[in-house]
Amino acid sequence: VKNFFRKIFGIFPGESKSVINFVKLGIIWAIGSCIAETLALGQFTQQIGSAMLPNAYMITSFTMIFVSCLYMYFLRFTSPYKIMITTMIIAAITYFLISIFLFFNPPRLFWFFLQIFSYSFSSALTACFWIFIDQYHDLQDAKRVYALYNSAYFFGFTISGFLIYYLIKYIGYAPLYLLVVITMIYSIFKAKKISKTTPAMEDDGVEGIFASGKKNMQNIFKEFISSKYSITLVATSLIVRLLLTTTQCNYVSSLEKVFSSNILNDKIILTAFLGKCRAFISIGNIIIGLFFYRNIIKRIGLTNLILIPPIYFMSLYSNWMMFDALLIAIFAVIAVEGILYTLEDNNFNLLIKASPAKLKNPLRIINDSFFEPIGMLFSSIILMFLKSDNKHFGFILCIFFIVFSMVLRYLYPKSIFISLKQNEVHFNKKIKDWINKFSKKDKKDTIKDLFLSLKSDNETIKLLALKTLLEFKDVSLLNKIISIINKESIIFKIKVLDIFENSHFSKDNKIIELIKYFMEFEKKQTLISKSTLYLAKKGLLHPDKIKHHLSSKDLDLRASAIISLKHSIYNKEISSKIENKKIAKNQIDLLFEYDKIDEICIGLDILNHDDTDEAVDMVVEYLTFDNLKVQRKASFALSQITDEADRKHSFKILDAIKNSSDSFIRIHLLQALGNICDYRTVEDIIILSKLFRSNERRETEKTILKMGAKCISVLITIIKDQKLNNRSKILAAKILGKLSISELRKIIPEIIDSEIKKANFYFYFGNKVSCIYPLYELPLLKNELLASYRSIIDFILHLLGSASPIEDVTLVIKALHSKNAKNKSHAIETLEKNITNKIYNKISNFIEDIPLEYKLEDAKNSLDNPNLTLIELLDILEESNSSFDKIISMHLKAKLKMPQWRESIKEKIKKSNDSLNQYAYELLES
């Protein structure tokens, strides 16, 4: 029975208690709040008269605006939980005092106070209740249970009506107010209990959900105006408020016309009729909230559901403008009391979750406490002016409603992705990319800060400041930079040369003059040599003037002479040019002759300015040299001088990547392969990438993308290859998605089904292995099965993500694995919005936070044989494409001394690869 009810209400096992607590809280505070509001209104009408109601509403509007401002202010210092508790305490004390005052014939002002307080308190508490609930539910939870909480409110609302109707005759007003006090006290204890027993949703966007967080109002406002989604949401909410009041006025006036012909007291009949309508609609609301809303959302999705209210209103008003009949008026009552209070309110509760984290609570307050009075105020003013043309005004509002809902529908997935993106760390961005995005003011401030850093005591900081300043590419800064450098130490000046050489200003006259100055007037030989080398690399030294350094012991000067002979701009005469190059060639050969590390390194440095085939041939040989420094220099040189003509070296370069674990070497050799553009290497590169670090994988992606469309067929083969590891296939899918998304989409259906089948197998047996085979100790098998499951899921998600319009698949996948519940639910939503429903339904079990028992049940149903014996399970693993599955299978068969395990291993050895055989032999020997 429990399971039946859980499934009907969409509650997962383990969360029943907390959901029931929230439902109880919702019902009880709704009873208290609604009793207070109804009694206050009734007493105000009795004591003051309905004629003064508009005045009371006017003051209420301003009070509510004041209260919402107060809430926004306090949110800077305290948690929404504390605000809710405080509001309830104030309400409990106030209603207690009110119940006492009622015995002493209170003055007129008291009734005004009672009416204004009750109305404002009710709205404020609505905002508090939802903000409080928000702390414990992510978007996916909200889709399941928020409608339930909304129904709880309506249930409380209905009960309050019954209580007033049946009790007021017997006990009067004061005890009912005391009942409100009791409901408030109960709600305070319930909320405290929830906060202690229910774990809050993990969201590290701000520290501590119930802790103090300094949210600067200015920052909140800035964030609001930069969020198109939040602006649209708020605007839609305001339109809804205006539409609500306008429609209420319209249906009352329509019903008045209908009932005015009645001989009986039309007001009584009208009120009774409205009461009956509302009662039925409330029951409908509860039923929709309890049973249907969750399923509608699942079927058609939130982005489609948000169009239903505006479409309903649009069709209502388009008919209403032509005919004024009772039936249409009833539809209008349904629109306000049903569509707006169930669908639109529930939609808003979900839509608000896509807004930026910092804005969520303020938006909730704005909607619940600010827009209600504003809507009331605006509508009353507009309706006063329009008088008879209310329906046309309603129709115009409908047009706005539908337009804004469409915009909201468009912005919703984008806003969710923006929230996800806030967690992205942009490792691929260079400092110049950041600088390019700076505003003028930011640039000015940053330059000022950098010049301050140039005066720092820390040399590393000074060098970084200089490097960053040069990235601004602002020539006007050079004079100031040069004057600072001139005052610096020799060691600093030497280090500065490297920074200049790699900067935008490497050939700028001012820099060249500075270096010439170093060369001529500085006394330290190292600085002079480095300056000479700098100028030689830029081709600015005359070969004849520097030739004498060819025999120098100073390697920098020797290199300067060789480079000048080869690349000097003064090498104009053809005969001398050839002669000089010949000398340079001999000198370079000499540098490599004695296997001296420093000489080889300087030789490789010289060659990285030489893009001839000869140079490439020479450098490639040093990729296998037994020294890391040399290998690094060689790989860097290749990244600089290779081109498409060097295809003959592509497999040697590939081997060097395979044999090196150094990131610098791998990245530069990948760049070299990218220059060579040899698509024959694609498969090997992708297979190698399973061992790569994330920056190396990013470089691999760039390299293959550079090779272009020729790689598509290879990539397709890789993705389809069942034997290949998933890490490599993921990269292939990512690249194919960028090269040709249509090709990737074509192959997805045939891959996805078999992968889901595999995932179900690993998932089911991974989780069940210890229950199914309790007599064996099988942690190793369990871990392997679950690891394989995770790897397949990663592959499926990357495959689907790469074939979808999602701009950063890795970000979404990372968020799916995140502990941050909000991020995870946003990632699920993004995926759901970007892949077809058919495929999403197939994978939803794997990614959604569904209880394990439900997932296992589904996985079991998808298996051909969920009752495998251990031997059968190990046999299946032995036939798997994964080497690790095979090893585990062999290992367990040997360990558990399964029948004929030796024969089985011997059989395997005949068919398997080297690494597997090695382990198989070890097992046999043991």
Partner 1 sequence: MKELSLISVTFLLKSINLFEDLDLDLLTAIADKMTQEIFDKNEKIFDVNQIASRLYIIAKGKVEILDENENTISYLNKGDYFGDESLFNEKPRSYMAKCLDNTLVLTLSKSNLLTIISECPSIGISLLQAYSKNINFRKIK
Site for partner 1, rule CB under 8 A? 200, 202-212, 214, 423, 425-427, 429-431, 434, 438, 442, 445-446, 449-450, 453, 458, 460-461, 464-465, 467-468, 694-695, 814, 818-820, 823
Q: Which two tokens stand for residue 754?
A: 């078999």
- Spell out the residues 6+ positions from residue 121 whose beta carbon is closer than 8 angstroms to its own: 33, 36, 87, 91, 94
In angstroms, give the least distance from the CB of 730 to partner 1.
16
Helix (H, G, I), strand (E, B) or coil at 393: helix
* Choice between 206 and 491, CB closer to partner 1: 206
* Choice between 211 and 264, CB closer to partner 1: 211
Nearest to 318 by CA among 401, 420, 414: 401
* Choice between 426 and 910, CB closer to partner 1: 426
In angstroms, give the least distance from the CB of 222 to partner 1.
13
Q: What's the rounded Cα separation, in Å, for the pair 698 and 683?
A: 16
* Choice between 814 and 860, CB closer to partner 1: 814
* Choice between 267 and 429, CB closer to partner 1: 429
Q: What's the rounded Cα separation, in Å, for the pair 732 and 730?
A: 5
Q: What's the rounded Cα separation, in Å, for the pair 43 and 173?
A: 9
In angstroms, give the least distance from the CB of 640 to partner 1.
20
DSSP H/E element including 452 = helix 440-453
Q: What's the rounded Cα separation, in Å, for the pair 1 and 409?
A: 39
Helix (H, G, I), strand (E, B) or coil at 835: coil
In angstroms, give the least distance from the CB of 627 to partner 1.
23
Helix (H, G, I), strand (E, B) or coil at 77: coil
* Choice between 6 and 467, CB closer to partner 1: 467
For residues 359 and 241, the answer to whether their CB atoms sit within 8 Å is no
Q: What's the rounded Cα separation, in Å, for the pair 137 and 350?
A: 10
Q: What's the rounded Cα separation, in Å, for the pair 184 and 175?
A: 14
**864: DSSP letter:** S
**583: DSSP letter:** H
> How far is residue 403 from each of residues 301, 398, 409, measured CA to CA in Å?
19, 8, 10
Q: What's the rounded Cα separation, in Å, for the pair 486 and 515?
A: 11
In angstroms, give the least distance from the CB of 200 to partner 1.
7
* Choice between 519 and 731, CB closer to partner 1: 731
In angstroms, give the least distance from the CB of 812 to partner 1.
14
Q: What's the rounded Cα separation, in Å, for the pair 204 and 206?
A: 5
> How far is residue 595 from each of residues 590, 665, 812, measured CA to CA in Å?
10, 20, 50
In angstroms, give the least distance from the CB of 694 to partner 1.
6
In angstroms, give the least distance from the CB of 645 to partner 1.
32
In angstroms, give the least distance from the CB of 390 to partner 1.
49
In angstroms, give the least distance from the CB of 209 to partner 1.
6
Q: How many CA atoms lie within 13 A of 462 on its CB side?
A: 17
In angstroms, give the least distance from the CB of 82 to partner 1.
13
Q: What are phi and psi of 199, to 5 degrees?
A: -70, 130
In angstroms, give the least distance from the CB of 829 to partner 1.
17
Q: Which two tokens stand for residue 17?
A: 């208690």
In angstroms, give the least distance from the CB of 420 to partner 1.
11
Radius of gyration of the chain (CA): 37
| Other Cβ atoms within 10 Å of 135 Cβ, number | 18
**263: DSSP letter:** S
In angstroms, give the least distance from the CB of 423 to partner 1.
6
491-529 burial: b if 16+ Cβ within 10 Å, else e: eebbbbbebbbebebbeeeebbebbeebbeeeeeeebbb
Q: What's the rounded Cα separation, in Å, for the pair 764 and 307?
A: 40
> How far is residue 384 from each of residues 62, 390, 401, measured CA to CA in Å?
19, 10, 22
Beta strands in 274-348 (DSSP E): none
* Choice between 449 and 777, CB closer to partner 1: 449
* Choice between 45 and 446, CB closer to partner 1: 446
In angstroms, give the least distance from the CB of 708 to partner 1.
27
* Choice between 41 and 200, CB closer to partner 1: 200
DSSP H/E element including 400 = helix 390-421
In angstroms, give the least distance from the CB of 847 to partner 1.
18
In angstroms, give the least distance from the CB of 431 to partner 1.
5
* Choice between 76 and 757, CB closer to partner 1: 76
SS (H, E, C) 114-149: HHHHHHHHHHHHHHHHHHHHHCCCCHHHHHHHHHHH
* Choice between 359 and 535, CB closer to partner 1: 359
* Choice between 276 and 432, CB closer to partner 1: 432
* Choice between 206 and 279, CB closer to partner 1: 206
Instruction: Write the DSSP assignment of 740-797 as a string of letters.
Output: -HHHHHHHHHHHHHHHHHHHHHHHHHHHHHHHHSTTS--HHHHHHHHHHHHHHHHHHH
* Choice between 69 and 206, CB closer to partner 1: 206
In angstroms, give the least distance from the CB of 76 to partner 1.
12
Q: What's the rounded Cα separation, in Å, for the pair 549 and 729?
A: 54
Helix (H) and strand (E) counts in the chain: 47, 0
Q: What's the rounded Cα separation, in Å, for the pair 737 and 803?
A: 6
Burial class of residue 594 (count of CB atoms within 10 Å of its CB; 0-12, 13-18, 19+): exposed
